[in-house]
Structures are given as structure tokens and as C-alpha cells.
Amino acid sequence: MKKGISIGIAAMLAFSSYSPSVLAKVENVGSINDSTENAVVVKSLSLENANQYALNSSYMLKELAIQIDRLKKVEEKINRNYKDAKESLDDLREVRDDLWDYYIQSPATPEEQAINRQLIEQIQLLNSNIKSLENTVPQLENQLDDFVYNKKILENNYTQVSETIKFSIMSSFVGLLLSQQQLELMKSTLQVQQTQLNSAKKRYELGLISKKDLDQSTRELKGLKDEMTKLETELSNNKANFALTLGVSNADFTLVEPKIEELSLITQEKPTKELIDNSYNILNTKTELELAEDALEEVDDITGWAREDKDLAQIDIELSKLKIEKDKANLEVAINNLFTQVKNQYQILQDAEDDLNLAKADVKDTQLYYELGLVSKQNYEFSKVKIEQAQINYDNAKYQYYVLQQKVEVLNSGVIITN
């Protein structure tokens, strides 16, 4: 049987079991829905429902959706104007060609000369309109290209923000679950420690322990109660903030534990370069480069363009190329760090599972010794608390690994979460 440790230390181990590098906070990802009129009342909350509530209440996503819809409307308008202008240009060119058919090459009479003069005037007027349209059509075409590029960037941003919100919600959801489990452990620990204090009082009355030992037990119990009150307050506040983020009105909801299948070591299936090149981050920066390159080509379509216009467009191209290289370097670091985290967290999970199995075996031994009268009931109850603590440590490691697993899944779909 493993040697027991003090009940106060056991509780403190549970309090410090979080890993903030894995469990992210939800702040600054989805805007808080402060409308109480449209808030949904929930009694129990699953991770799937939490994600849906968060996506529905995110002002950032709503704004992106409106911007995308607006771009589509403007794109339709410009596309219609482009088609009309191109058709008008083709029609004017056809009319001009028809007028040239009536032009008399060798006018012999004053009437024929007058006809030619009228034709030339009409053709010159047509040429003026044609020249204007020849400037307008490429400009509209360039605007269309710009809108297509910008719409693509916004759509990519929408996907990235959606996945980032879901990841943040999942991290916060897991954090609430673990806080809830820790609180339950503290309640069990409190019961055992209260029993120990009652026993200490009787032993003190019998003169078996000193006043100092009794005071120590009293302080430990008070410290545990204070910690439990603090955690209860923090959990209540965190649930209230989480409810606001989701746009739900009831903060006293019950969390439904997600079903997690057997977890195995995640390996990197795609090369880092492929993950980076197919990420929305790089797709966006490459689109920005295409916009800059198009802007350089569009300079030639501008009447009276200056040399500075081309220089500025060339500078924008160089800046876009530099941004791509910088983003690639940052994303490579993020991917390498992620799979390092995965490897380390999987080992933590394995160790936590071993500790849980040892705690279960220890309880069986302690139960046998208790039944044989070799250990006290207090020691037996304490060994059961140690199982609860080991279970929480295992769940902590499991959920943190689950969070990383989801992070890898969205990575393979093109979203690289860098926090």
C-alpha cells in the first residue's frame, strides 16, 4: 500500500492541475450577445450546442456575413454594368463599321462629298464614345477582379473565425468541466477532513494530541473551506460570462460531458509545407499578392498615369511577398509547436492513466486492510479521495489532449490556430 499524504496537500494538487497553454480563454473571439430579449434559456449544455449558440451570437461573424453579402450585391451591380458597357462597345463598333460601308471612296459630286462629311462627323462622335467605353470596360473588369479577390478573403476569414470561435468555446467548456470536477473533489475532501477534525477533537479531549495539532487540523479545514468558496465563486462567474458569450440567459446550466473515444497518439500526416500552403492564412496573403499584381497591371489602363503609380504598385507587391514569407515562417513554428504539445500531452495522459490505476489498486489494498482492522476508517476514506483526485488529473490530461486533437483536425482542414 502506498504511503498516504496529508489531505490538505492532496487537495492543493487538484487545485493546480490546469495547463493554461492548452485551455484557451474565450475572450476576444466572439462578441458578447448582450440582448436579453432574444437569449435562449438552457438547462443542460452540450459542447455541440455551445458551439452553435456561440456562432449564432457572434457579432464578428454577423458582420463578416453582411460584408460578404454586400460584396456580392456590389459585384452583381458591377458585373451588370460591365456587361452593358461591353455590349454597348460592341454595338458602337459595329455601327461604326457599318457607317464606313457607306463612305464613298472617290466622291465625284458635291452631294457625295457632303455625305462623306456627315459620315466622318458621325464616325468621330462614335470614336469618342468608343474610346470612353474602351477605358470604362477594363476598369469595370478590374473592379470585378478586385471584388472576387476581396470576397474570397472575407469568405476565408469567415471560416477561420468560425473555427477559432469553436476552438475557444471548446477550451472554455473543458475548463468549466474540470472546475466542476475539482469542486466535487473538494466537497469529498471536506467531508473526510471534517471527520478527521472531529476525531482530533476527541483525541485532544483524551489528551492524546496537543492543542497545536488540533489547531493545525482546524486551520487545514478552514483553508479548504476558503478554497472551496473561492472556486465556487470563480466557477459561478465563469459560467455567467460563458452564458453571456453564448447568448443564453441561464447561467445555472448543467454541462454535458462530451463523448471522447479512445485517444491514441496523433501523428503529422501531411508535410508542414503542404499544411502551410493550403492554409487559409497563406491563401489570403497570396490573394493579397494577386491583388497587388493586378493593381500594377491596371496602372496601364489609367489615362495619364505617372511613374510614381507604378513604383507604388511595385512596392505593394514586394510588401505582399514579404508578408507571405513572414506568415510561412510563423505558421511553421506554430505547427511544430502544436505537434510537440501533442507528443508531450500524450505522455502526460499516459502517466495520469498509470497514476489512476495505481490509486485504484491502492484503494483495494486499503479496503482489505480496513476489513482486517489494520487501518482506520479515516485512512480508508482518504484512499477513496485519492482515487477521485487521480481521476480528475486523468480527466484533465484527457480533455487537454482532446483539445489538441481538435486543433490538429482543423489544421488539416486549413485553419491554423496559433494561440
Q: Are 410 and 162 in contact (CB under 8 A)?
A: no
Q: What is the pLDDT of residues 319-368, one digit of tens each?
A: 999 999 999 999 999 999 999 999 999 999 999 999 999 999 988 888 88
Q: How many residues are present in the chain? A: 419
Q: Residue 284: is its pLDDT beyond 70?
A: yes
Dihedral pair phi/psi, residue 254, rounded to 5°: -95, 135
Q: Is the dihedral of CA 114, 117, 123, 128 positive or negative?
A: negative
The whole-chain average pLDDT of the chain stands at 85
Determine which of 54-63, 97-106, 128-137, 240-249 has the lowest per-residue pLDDT on average. Answer: 97-106
Q: What is the pLDDT of residues 21-60, one digit of tens each?
A: 444 444 444 444 545 556 678 888 999 999 999 999 999 9
Domain ranges of the chain: 265-285+329-419
Secondary structure of 295-344 in HEC code, one letter for each residue: HHHHHHHCCCCCHHHHHHHHHHHHHHHHHHHHHHHHHHHHHHHHHHHHHH
Q: How far is the C-alpha of 366 from the C-alpha of 196, rounded, in Å?
A: 17
- Residue 26, classified by CB atoms within 10 Å of its CB into exposed (0-12), middle (13-18) or buried (19+), is buried
Q: Residue 9: is its pLDDT beyond 60?
A: no
Q: How confident is the model at residue 164 (pLDDT cuts 50, 70, 90)?
A: very high
Q: What is the pLDDT of residues 199-216, one digit of tens each?
A: 889 888 888 888 998 898
First-to-final CA distance of the chain: 43
pLDDT at 113: 83
What's CA 390's distance to the chain center, in Å?
A: 31
pTM for the complete prediction? 0.77
Dihedral pair phi/psi, residue 41, rounded to 5°: -95, 125
Pick the closest to residue 280 from 171, 412, 88, 118 (CA basis).
Answer: 412
| Amino acid at residue number 409 | E
Q: Are 189 and 11 in contact (CB under 8 A)?
A: yes
3-class secondary structure, 302: coil
Average pLDDT over residues 391-400: 93
3-class SS shares of the chain: helix, strand, coil, % to 5: 80, 0, 20
Q: How far is the C-alpha of 175 from the C-alpha of 400, rounded, in Å?
A: 9
3-class secondary structure, 9: helix
3-class secondary structure, 45: strand
Which cell numbers in the block locate residue 21?
Answer: 497553454
